[in-house]
Amino acid sequence: MSPVSNPSLQHTTQQRRLSALYKHLHPNGAATAPDHNLTTKISPNATLKFGSITETQQQSFDVESMAEWLLGPNTNQKLRQKILAMSKADIIRTPMLNLPKEEQRRITTEQIKYILASGEYRISLMKQNPSEMMQRLECMTFFPASASVKLGVQLLLFSGSLMNLGTERHKDVLRRAEKGEIMGAFGMTELAHGSAVQKLETTATYDPDTKEFVINTPSKNALKWWLGNAACTATLCSVFARLIVKDQDYGIHVFLVPIRDEKTKQPLPDVIIGDCGDKQGLHGVDNGFLGFKNVRIPKDNLLNRFGDVTDDGEYTSQFSSNARRFGAHMGELITGRVSIVFSSLQVRRASVLIATRYAARRVQFGAPDRTGEQSILSYRSHQMKLMPILASCYVYEFSKRDLVRKYTSLHSPDTKISDDDLAELHALSAGMKAVFSWDTQKYLEICREACGGHGYSAYNRFGSMINDHTIFQTFEGDNTVLVQQLGGFLMKEFAKQFQKNQVGAVLNMIGSRIGSAIATINPAQVFTNPNVKSSNFQVQAFRHRTASILQTCAQQINNQRKKKGFVNAWNDALPQIVSLARAYVEQYALEQYVSQVRRVKNRELRTILKRLRNIWALTVIKDNFLDFVNIINVKPESIRKALESQCEKVSTHAVSLVDAFNIPDHVLDAPIGLSKGNYMDHILRYAIERNPGNHENIEGLLEGILESNDNLTTQATSRPSASAERSHQSSLSEQTLFHSSTEKAESNGDESDVESDSDDEMEQ
């Protein structure tokens, strides 16, 4: 057996070569290479001023306190740590880059079995302790993306349909699904219809003679398509089909249909199973298609919570109309939308964490009068790229948290939800899912670009995050369709209070949705010289923006519906309706954030949090200035200058702010974003360890690395002494990162760039 084919010999050879490489990179360092959690401190040289984490991670505030604030007071830390420990298992951390999709699917299935075997992920826990179950769902982001999505199909969609749409007779199937004894698919989408669920063509016809339903796919258009778990693993499927009883169509119902033999895993007779094939991302999820050629299932396989059929063929339901019954069936999909909200936010955090740590370490160019180069995070253009994304990760945390609170109240036996509150929850989750995933996808590309060529490396995960996350804009509801749900909800509320086009009535309605009454005056009239960094001004401006767009939409539809009909009038107003949904989601986020920051007692943290709010709010105003032009009496140049100033100030805290996200290195798994060690060491290690060809050519590669390292060593020996360099750095202007003296002054009360606490009052 050759050394290459012998794993143990290959590992020994690789370690020897890595040790030699490490000596070349660190001639004065340890004799052996460090492990994956490299913590060695290296001294900065003239071209690697911020090359070491010891140079960049000088905590500018209490990171632990900030992390606790972000997690919230109700977080179960023991549960979180338990799931984090699960995420370190070898099967979970198995590298899958460049593996064939068949192998990725096999590994992902093994990961799901491991997770389900823990007993931590049972959808029935939602009824027992909904708050803790939502924490479990948030912790799913510790697992690889394919595993998280595949688990979501099994847990939220398939098992969720059994729990929420089924009854007592389906509990045994639910129990087995929660244990992973059976795998399921969720059969809603068809080849010809996705969002228009009421137009699905699959039929389920009741046969009273045999007391069975006959499931049939009438045409190729009706093939169930894109079903997760269907291509390889599912043995059962929750099939959405039109219920036909005595030739009458009762609309969409859900049926439990066996599709594979549980032992052989072969397709059952008259069941068509196919593979949808290669996708842009999520290669570990086996998306497939299904067809049924008059497949017979027992009568009890109807998930009958909202409608049932008697043995002799009589249909019964607590709902008097197909439309209301359909709404009840679809209402249970809200869990998936809420989970996408926090999953998308976590992807955003990971991407800006990687980009920020890299930007703090990476040095390029510099002023002629300086020794060495400067961190790219000190450049204003880079700050303007990353700081708004970082700020959004903080601001959106609390609208997300409030959405989760509203959702968990649905499952609390002690809480009664009104129809109005339920309608708001459906609309808000739809709008937030759309806006969060739209923005995260945009931010992923910005963060990738901000990392230059290293951002293009698959090891740094931007490619996989971009490809895996893009479907978030489509599954659980197409975003453009979902924002119409929020827009429609707002206009229905508006219609109840519409009084001769008065903006005040609209504002009062908007305020009432979050439990506050607001003034009906224009912010531009309140502030003759407005302080754009005042939370009061920002909140009022955001509210008036929503009210103005809402009024415009309502007027446009009202004026056109008599001429064109409602459908055409609505279609004409769609661009404004999309803007309306975004405006409301952003207003809601700002209000929740302002409310939470006001409660922070630590003055140092509060100052930084206010700056984050300023960055986010000013970015929204800048990017949507036409929405605000008639509301705020401020020139665009003033907004831009204020935004640049806030981005510069926050950039000095940036590494600490992303550290507070508390994402472990084994979850992040990106060499340029790891918390410990030199990012260039990590890049080399990933390239050498994960490419077998490098193992053969390592001696040849070392010659070039040795020569390069000798040059760096020469530069390092000619740099100023450590004390002289520290003295030089302490005298640099504000453009240089991490000024401990400046940060100390700010913590002692220098808050001139943010409004005082007395100005930071939002009308209740």
CB 520 within 8 A of CB 504: yes
CB 597 within 8 A of CB 545: no
C-alpha separations of 83 from 74, 93, 104, 149, 662 in Å: 17, 14, 22, 16, 14
- What angle is formed at CA 723 by the lines to CA 720 and CA 726, rounded to 5 degrees? 90
- The CA distance from 361 to 347, in Å, is 22
95, amino acid identity? P
| Token couple for 568 | 């055409």
Distance in angstroms between the alpha carbons of the first and the last residue of the chain: 76
CB 147 within 8 A of CB 112: yes
What's 413-482 look like in SS3?
CCCCCCHHHHHHHHHHHHHHHHHHHHHHHHHHHHHHHHCHHHHCCHHHCHHHHHHHHHHHHCCCCCHHHH
281 is in an annotated binding site: no
Three-state DSSP class for 184? Answer: strand
- The CA distance from 626 to 631, in Å, is 10
C-alpha separations of 2 from 7, 542, 741 in Å: 10, 68, 59
476 is catalytic: yes
- The CA distance from 749 to 593, in Å, is 22
- The CA distance from 17 to 399, in Å, is 51
CB 50 within 8 A of CB 360: yes
Instruction: Give the residue from 13, 25, 19 showing the smallest Cα distance to 708.
Output: 25
Instruction: Give the residue from 81, 52, 18 showing the smallest Cα distance to 680.
Output: 52
- CB atoms under 10 Å from CB of 225, counted, come to 22
Token pair 């630590």: residue: 602
- The CA distance from 172 to 162, in Å, is 10
Contacts of 575 by beta carbon, 8 Å cutoff, 6+ apart: none
| Token couple for 592 | 């929740």
CB 120 within 8 A of CB 299: no
Instruction: Give the residue from 133, 137, 96, 91 showing the smallest Cα distance to 114.
Output: 91
| Helix (H), strand (E) at residue 384 | helix 380-411
- What angle is formed at CA 585 by the lines to CA 581 and CA 588, rounded to 5 degrees? 140
- CB atoms under 10 Å from CB of 698, counted, come to 18
- The CA distance from 640 to 354, in Å, is 26
CB 385 within 8 A of CB 392: no
The active-site residue, picked from 55, 332, 476, 743, is 476
Using a 10 angstrom Cβ sphere, with 0-12 exposed, 13-18 middle and 19 or more buried, the burial of residue 382 is: buried
- The CA distance from 685 to 170, in Å, is 51
228 is in an annotated binding site: yes
Strand duo 203-207 + 212-216: pairing? antiparallel
Binding-site positions for FAD read 189, 228
Catalytic residues: 476
